[in-house]
Amino acid sequence: MSVVGAAYRFETGLRDLASRVARAFGWTPVAIAYPGYGSGGRVRVLGRVLLAPAGTHPESRLRIPGWQRFLTLEAPRTEVVVEVAGTRRRLTSDDDGLLDAVLPAARPLEGRPTVSARMGTGLRWATAPVHLASSDAHRGVVCDIDDTVLVTDIAHPLRAAYRTFVQRSGSRRAVPGMADLLREVTAGAEHVPVLYLSNGPWNLLGPLSRFLERNGFPPGALLLTDWGLQPDRWFRDGQAHKRSSLLRLAEDLPGVDWTLVGDTGEHDPALYEEFARAHPDRVAEILLRDVTAAGPTVASVGDVPVVRAADGAALSRARASLRR
């Protein structure tokens, strides 16, 4: 057995032991609903099942401060009742306690920007919005988070770790002009889908959601990932997460041409350009915040424009120059 495999088995055994001890002290499963998305008669619902002290309200788990939000005990293979848009289903969490399912809607979804998803284990229910794209939506936005809309300095691990684990979410800084840019891209049409795609962990969904709302970003679902050991690798593959998420969005919202927004600090340029080459008819433009603060540049991948600039305002100006 490899070192990684042995470490994964040890971590899994330790988690199972901690879960048994917690249950012995009266902890029970609670379901947390995450923002989802949908269109037409289908909605994608997301959530997670955790163990929590008896009487804990599920949504309070999204408000745990600082590093403590990473100290969670997942409840794998736990049955949860889900209600959304007139449909009720029973789902079972996966080995990481996650819930991810597409449900048909019993009621028409047209004309509403959101519906509510409810999840519960017993008498305790949590709710989250499901953001709806209009059935004739022809454009949408996929936007990275770290160093695209939120200053993280992910290329500097110590700085990024401090901001992620220590700094209070209320003091985090937004990248200048990015909220205005996203509102500009989504203006003029009804129910344009917005998806925030990040390699950040689901543990950060609460503070990230509050950050986006507080700084005026358009509402949308967050597609995060699960940190931690994997059976065959030390960390989950972030590039694979983003690549598979883009392909999934192309399938779930087949009529949408995407504006892909990211930054030059890690893998966004290569991943977005790869997707644009494979699906040129599904990408309207690629907008990249240049973390080196270099001057604006305009290039292309086939017929898809690729704009790089230092912040949202500079990206907006460079984008506007293409339409003259």
The answer to whether 284 and 259 are in contact (CB under 8 A) is yes
Q: Is the domain of 170 the same as that of 236?
A: yes
Last residue of a domain, one of 111, 132, 153: 132
Q: Is the domain of 72 the same as that of 152?
A: no
Last residue of a domain, one of 88, 116, 132: 132
Q: Is the domain of 128 the same as that of 143?
A: no
Q: Is the domain of 158 the same as that of 283?
A: yes
The C-alpha atoms of residue 197 and residue 151 are separated, in whole angstroms, by 15
Q: Is the domain of 210 the same as that of 317?
A: yes
Average of per-residue pLDDT values in the chain: 87
| CATH number of 22's domain | 2.60.40.10
Q: Is the domain of 284 the same as that of 171?
A: yes
**Dihedral sign computed on CA atoms, order 182, 185, 188, 189:** negative
Q: What is the pLDDT of residues 139-188, one digit of tens each?
A: 999 999 999 999 986 655 555 555 555 556 667 899 999 999 999 999 98
pTM of the complete model: 0.89
Q: What is the pLDDT of residues 178-228, one digit of tens each?
A: 999 999 999 988 889 999 999 988 988 999 999 999 999 999 999 999 866
- Single out the residue of 146, 141, 136, 143 nearest to residue 173, CA to CA: 146
Q: Is the domain of 197 the same as that of 308?
A: yes
Amino acid at 121: T
Q: Are strands 124-133 and 114-121 parallel, antiparallel or unpaired?
A: antiparallel
Report angle CA 175, 129, 127 to the nearest 5 degrees: 120
Q: Is the domain of 214 the same as that of 301?
A: yes
When divided into structural domains, the chain yields a total of 2
- Per-residue pLDDT, 106: 78
Instruction: Write the DSSP assignment of 110-156 as a string of letters.
Output: TT-SEEEEEEEETTEEEEEEEEEEPTT--EEEEE--BTTTB---TTS
Q: Is the domain of 117 the same as that of 220?
A: no
Q: Is the domain of 143 the same as that of 127?
A: no
User: Helix 268-278 crosses helix 238-252 at what angle (to 10 degrees)?
Assistant: 40
Q: Is the domain of 151 the same as that of 211?
A: yes
Residue 20 has pLDDT above 80, yes or no: yes
Q: Is the domain of 148 the same as that of 127?
A: no
User: Within 13 Å, how many C-alpha atoms sit on residue 60's CB side?
Assistant: 9
The answer to whether 86 and 107 are in contact (CB under 8 A) is yes
Last residue of a domain, one of 117, 132, 147: 132
Domain that holds residue 210: 139-321
| CATH number of 249's domain | 3.40.50.1000
Confidence of residue 13 (pLDDT cuts 50, 70, 90): confident
